[in-house]
Amino acid sequence: MRILIVEDEPDLLASLAQALREEGYAVDTADNGDDGLFNAEGTDYDAIVLDVMLPGRDGWEVLKCLRQTKVTPVLMLTARDQTRDRVKGLDTGADDYVVKPFDLEEVFARLRAIIRRRANQTTNVIELGDVKVDTAARTVSLKHKPVELTAREYALVEFMALHHGEVVTRTQLYEHLFDENDTTMSNLLDVHVSNVRKKLGAEFITTRRGHGYCIE
C-alpha cells in the first residue's frame, strides 16, 4: 500500500510518515499543496492524507484539482471541526476526515477503511480459499494457522488480496509497495513473490506471463 502525506508542519509530517511506514505502508510526503497535487496526479496512491491548511494551494483546492483526474481515496486532516467544514470536505470529494488533534490509531483505522472501500471490500477480513487476510490485525492465516510474513510480504499479499480476481502488473506492485525513497532492485519483487508462495502455497499467486500476477 502506497500513501501520500501532504502536511506543512514538519514535525507532524515526519512522525506521520514514520508511523505509517512502521505500519507497513510505502509513504511519500509533500509539504505544500502544489507538490502534493503534482505527486498525487503522477502516481496511483492507495490513499492520500491531506491537510486542509497548506501553503500554496490549500487542501480543498488540491482535492478539487485531483478529483478531475483521479479517484484516489483521500483522508483530510482538519483543524476545524465545525460541521460546515466537514460537509465541505466530504462534498468536495474527500472520503473521510480526521480532526486535529487525533490519535494515530484513528488515522490508521480510517485509512484502512477508505482503502478497503475503494476495493469494494466491506470487512477487514478477506478470505481466499484456505487463506485469510486480516487487514486490521495485519495477519495472514492458512487453514486457521497464522503464517509469519515480513512487512513487505504482507503488503504484497494485502494488495493482491484487495485486487483478487484482477491481474496486477509488476509496475503496479512496484508503485504500491515501494515509495519514492526505495531504490529497489527489480528482482526484489520476484523474491517477495516466491517467499509468499513458499509460505501460502505455490498456487496462491499465479503468474500471467507478460502481464503480471493474479490471485484467483
Partner 1 sequence: MKILKSIKWRLQIWYGLILVVVLAGFGFTSYQLERGRLFGRIDDELDRRVGVLAKALHRRPPRRLDGSEQPFDRPPPGQFPDAAPAGQNLRPPLELHLPPEDAHFFDTNDANHFYYVINSRDGKVLARTLDVTVGGGIGNDRRVSNGLPSGEWIEVGCSIVPELKALHHIALKLAGVGGIILFFGLTGGWWFVGRALRPVSEISATAVKISAGDLSQRINIAEAESELGQLAAVLNSTFARLETAFAQQKQFASDAAHELRTPVTVILTQTQTALAREREAVSYRQTVEACQRAAQRMRRLIESLLELARFDAGQEVLKRMQFDFAQTISDSAELVRTLADERGVKIISDLAPLEITGDAERLAQVVTNLLTNAIQYNRLGGEVRVKLAAANGLAVLEIADTGQGIAPEELPRVFERFYRADQSRTGAGNAGLGLSICKAIVEAHGGAIEVASEKNAGTTFTVRLAA
Positions that interact with partner 1 (CB under 8 A):
8-12, 14-16, 18-19, 22, 32, 53-56, 58, 79-80, 82, 99-105
Q: Are 33 and 62 in contact (CB under 8 A)?
A: yes
- In the complex, least distance from residue 88 CB atom to partner 1, rounded to whole angstroms: 15
- In the complex, least distance from residue 195 CB atom to partner 1, rounded to whole angstroms: 23
Cα gap 87→153, rounded to integer Å: 38
- In the complex, least distance from residue 173 CB atom to partner 1, rounded to whole angstroms: 27
Burial status of residue 7 (CB atoms within 10 A of its CB: 0-12, 13-18, 19 or more): buried
Of 14 and 87, CB closest to partner 1: 14
- In the complex, least distance from residue 49 CB atom to partner 1, rounded to whole angstroms: 11
Of 85 and 134, CB closest to partner 1: 85
Cα gap 183→81, rounded to integer Å: 40
Nearest residue to 109 (alpha-carbon basis) of 138, 132, 90, 136: 136
Identity of the amino acid at 115: I
CB atoms within 10 A of CB 128: 17
Identity of the amino acid at 69: T
H or E segment to which residue 38 belongs: helix 33-42
Of 65 and 214, CB closest to partner 1: 65
Of 101 and 165, CB closest to partner 1: 101
- In the complex, least distance from residue 97 CB atom to partner 1, rounded to whole angstroms: 13
Of 9 and 166, CB closest to partner 1: 9
